[in-house]
Structure 1
Amino acid sequence: MLDFALVLLLVLLNGVFALSELAVVSARRSRLRAMAAAGRPGASAALALAEEPGRFLSTVQIGITLVGVLAGAFSGAALGGHLGAWLAGLGLPPGGAEPLGFGLVVALVTYLSIVVGELAPKRLALRHAEALACAVAPAMTIISRIAAPAGWLLDASTDLVFRLLGRAEAPQERVTEDDLRALVAEAELAGTIEATERRMIAGVLRLGNRPVRGVMTPRGEVDWLDATAGEAAARAMLMRTAHSRLPVGEGSTEAMLGVVQARELLSALLAGQPLDLRVAARQAPVVPDTADALDVLATLRAAEVPVALVHDEHGHFEGIVTPTDLTEAIIGALRSDAEPDEELPAVRREDGSWLLAGWMPVDEMAEVLGIALPEERGYQTAAGFVLAVAGRLPRVGEAVEARGWHFEVVDLDGRRIDKLLASPVRAAVAPAARRAGSGPPAG
């Protein structure tokens, strides 16, 4: 029994090395840093081991190899002989009892090594990586120092092999946006966060990638006051608009004076005072249409009025952006009392197709349809995507195919694509629609 207990101890020691290896390698460094900052014992040592995985893995491999050699040699020499003698005592021929005993011992030790020494510890390490890494790190640090010369030799030899393969530099640890999206989706499936929270986080990530022209209210949809049109025109606009702040122009939108508070103008009208839009106009920041949306958010915080005038590189007025525009990019469009019938950007149909609004942000469309878009692109809406693919304005009923989807123009509002029907290519009825454009998606 003493011999068997010694073999079992060696198998358990192998399991400790296997658990330590996978726990330290699998532990997220961000979690280890947070645990170290909170004073968790062993977290700093685990982080130090994770920062130098080459030497740590060399040390662990030395331990696993030595334990495996000792367990194999001892089990074969001691347990194999004892079991062979016991089988011979049962009446088996000596020529067959010894090989059979040796074989049975090898099979048993191999089974224990796989289950107890490898699989169970590694599965445990995957479930509790950070906690176990903190627990084993102090002991592993001491072993690493003791085995430092051998570990250095193995690590240097491994680096030499990588150099011969042309892969000398180790990849830097980085978390991509796709990693964040996958982590958030996993958290939603696990019930850690709600679906609404996931959508808001996705909205924040989308906002970080959008230029201001992707969130602004375009020029054609801006309610503005003309300082040269007279008081009657201003009254009519104030009665018609639902906005609390309006830009003021000197005859046209190309000569913007600033932004006025509708409340102040209404107060002046109720008090019987004359309207002077030039005096009431407050200075508004001017931002280029290529500016990042998050940078514009900082500009709005510091502005006298939270409205920015968006201009292109030639100085032409393109639209306005407000905190509401930025908020809607995160949480979705808000239905106001003034617009109770405002359309949804995407509606799923029973046949699996999607009815899309032309103004739908193209990154939201890509998320809904599950397609990838190029990082550098010159369009910001679903309509712009179709125009880029077609290379011209398609007629109603015309369609294009891109990214595995069939996009049919359902409705036009003048020269603007108002509605699109998106169907998977395999399900699209293409013969009735003529493809508008044959080149790959632009941008």
Structure 2
Amino acid sequence: MYLEIAVIVILTVVNGLLAMSELAVVSSRSARLRLLAEQGSTGAATALRLAEHPGRFLSTVQIGITLVGVLSGAFSGATLGARLSGWLAERGLSQGLAEAFGVGTVVVAITYLSLIIGELVPKQIALKNPERVAVTVAPAMVILSKLGAPLVWLLDKSGTLILALLGQKGGATDTLTEEEVKSIIADAETAGVIEQDERELISGVMRLADRSARALMTPRREVEVIDLADDPAAIREQVRLSRRSRLPVADGNADAIVGVVMAKDVMDGFAANPKFEVRGLVQQAPIVLDRTMALDVLRLMRASRVHMTLVFDEYGHFEGIITANDMLEAITGAFDDEDDEKAIVTRADGSLLISGWMPADEFAHALGLPNQRDAEYETAAGFALTAFQHLPEVGESFEQNGWRFEVVDLDGRRIDKILASRVVPA
């Protein structure tokens, strides 16, 4: 009897090992296993091969689990159940009740043991550290698959055929959306793996990759431009009063931007010669269309010595400039400057005062709005104009996604300030 109990326990443990192996290999992250394999772990390389052929691996595991289940059922009913029934009958219980209680008690006990030792505990172990478990069990799974190779092949091909009949012939697609990446990063912060500032920087890099040149640039109306057609004395005074280290240069026409000059070089030139010609200091700068993606702009800027990019639209009109500082602020957020206004201010009543130039993705993130990746606007002002479909007057408002947006200030034909407040349900 003790031998039979030991066999049942061993079979249950084997079932648990198989269940743990299945969940560990399926749940393991390929990138983590690949890194371990590059570091010399043969178990990780084996686990990677198993994960690349899930049909064969799952067939191997299922064969083992089915075999264990059959043997466990045979022992529980035919041996231990019969022994317990006989023992109960000897104690004066009727034959029918003894058989029912004997077999029933053994089945319940083994089922409980199978659930705890054979399923729940092993799977929880696998979920806690799937890569480590996968590395450990992978060699044994390979041996098991070789022992049952003919049956594994048959089950794998049969499953593939049925999947094809169901229209599921293609391989598994291992895709990861941006929202899932953000969720993983948030989980890493919660677990203490990364700091909050690190998470914000990573999120900023992801936002940068989604932006276009138009969303990054300092718009034309805010750009200081030197015009070569101006008097040299006027140019010298403009550069002297400017706070910029680099300035774009036009040649008699606001759209005829010919390059960029260093403010220091201009002042040095005028100091040496009051009639100095600025044209000789003009350096070529990369030119991009306003719809060029941020990463392409970054590559061009890194290859340029002037660290400034000129933005034009498809009609050849000058739209603005992008500097290294614009790139950095897109990742980290705007730096505090005594002359710069804040993008968003929380008022005492909980409403938000939003600058029209606030980037659309930061605006959506701050208010919890869905980020429209295919939207035609790049700023909070563009968001409002899209909703109004006309240039609004001060005081006009609209409601969307549980918020009420009111235009509180205009700068000419530009929306300068928007007041956002929560809509109170009736």
TM-score, normalising length: structure 1: 0.91
Q: Which residue of 2 aligns with 1:363?
A: 361
Q: Which residue of 2 aligns with 1:415?
A: 413
Alpha carbons 1:209, 1:292 under 8 Å: kept: yes
Alpha-carbon separation, structure 1, partners of 2:303 and 2:24: 47
Q: How does 1:324-343 map to 2 (within 5 A)?
A: 324-336=325-337, 340-343=338-341
380, 387, 395: which one aligns with 1:389: 387
* Cα deviations by residue, 1:302-359 (Å, 9 ceiling, x for unpaired): 22311111111111111111111111100111124xxx15222223446554322111
Q: How does 1:223-234 map to 2 (within 5 A)?
A: 223-234=224-235
Give aligned-pair identity as a percent: 51
Alpha-carbon separation, structure 1, partners of 2:340 and 2:412: 19
Deviation at 1:47, TM superposition (A): 0.4
Deviation at 1:147, TM superposition (A): 1.9
Deviation at 1:238, TM superposition (A): 2.0
Alpha-carbon separation, structure 1, partners of 2:261 and 2:314: 25
In structure 2, the CA distance between the partners of 1:289 and 1:428, relative to structure 1 (3 Å rule), is farther
Alpha carbons 1:76, 1:105 under 8 Å: kept: yes
* Cα deviations by residue, 1:79-117 (Å, 9 ceiling, x for unpaired): 112222222333333332222111110000000000100
Instruction: Kindly indicate whether residue 398 of structure 2 is the aligned counterpart of residue 400 of structure 1.
Output: yes
Deviation at 1:216, TM superposition (A): 0.7
Alpha carbons 1:188, 1:194 under 8 Å: kept: yes
Alpha carbons 2:240, 2:267 under 8 Å: kept: no
Alpha carbons 1:45, 1:138 under 8 Å: kept: yes
SS in 2 for 1:6: helix
Q: Which residue of 2 aligns with 1:190?
A: 191
CA RMSD of aligned residues (A): 1.8
Alpha carbons 1:257, 1:278 under 8 Å: kept: no
Q: Which amino acid in structure 1 is aligned with residue 286 of structure 2?
A: P
Q: Which residue of 2 aligns with 1:247?
A: 248
Alpha-carbon separation, structure 2, partners of 1:56 and 1:371: 43
In structure 2, the CA distance between the partners of 1:92 and 1:352, relative to structure 1 (3 Å rule), is farther
Deviation at 1:221, TM superposition (A): 0.3
In structure 2, the CA distance between the partners of 1:41 and 1:370, relative to structure 1 (3 Å rule), is same
In structure 2, the CA distance between the partners of 1:428 and 1:382, relative to structure 1 (3 Å rule), is farther
Alpha carbons 2:33, 2:131 under 8 Å: kept: yes
In structure 2, the CA distance between the partners of 1:361 and 1:148, relative to structure 1 (3 Å rule), is same
Alpha-carbon separation, structure 2, partners of 1:414 and 1:262: 31
Alpha carbons 2:352, 2:421 under 8 Å: kept: yes
In structure 2, the CA distance between the partners of 1:335 and 1:8, relative to structure 1 (3 Å rule), is same
Alpha-carbon separation, structure 2, partners of 1:424 and 1:122: 45
Q: Which residue of 1 aligns with 2:150?
A: 149
Alpha-carbon separation, structure 2, partners of 1:305 and 1:230: 25
Alpha-carbon separation, structure 2, partners of 1:158 and 1:408: 59
Q: How does 1:150-229 map to 2 (within 5 A)?
A: 150-229=151-230
Deviation at 1:208, TM superposition (A): 0.8
Q: Which amino acid in structure 2 is aligned with residue 5 of structure 1?
A: A
Instruction: Kindly indicate whether residue 318 of structure 2 is the aligned counterpart of residue 320 of structure 1.
Output: no
Q: Which residue of 2 aligns with 1:438?
A: none
Q: How does 1:11-410 map to 2 (within 5 A)?
A: 11-271=12-272, 273-336=274-337, 340-349=338-347, 352-410=350-408
Alpha-carbon separation, structure 2, partners of 1:370 and 1:210: 18
In structure 2, the CA distance between the partners of 1:124 and 1:290, relative to structure 1 (3 Å rule), is same
* Cα deviations by residue, 1:176-218 (Å, 9 ceiling, x for unpaired): 2222211111111111111111111111111111111110111
SS in 2 for 1:42: helix
Gaps of 5+ in 2: none
Deviation at 1:71, TM superposition (A): 0.4
Deviation at 1:377, TM superposition (A): 2.1
In structure 2, the CA distance between the partners of 1:352 and 1:2, relative to structure 1 (3 Å rule), is farther
Gaps of 5+ in 1: 430-443
After superposing the two structures, state which structure 1 stretch, 23-32 or 186-195, moved more.
186-195
TM-score, normalising length: structure 2: 0.95
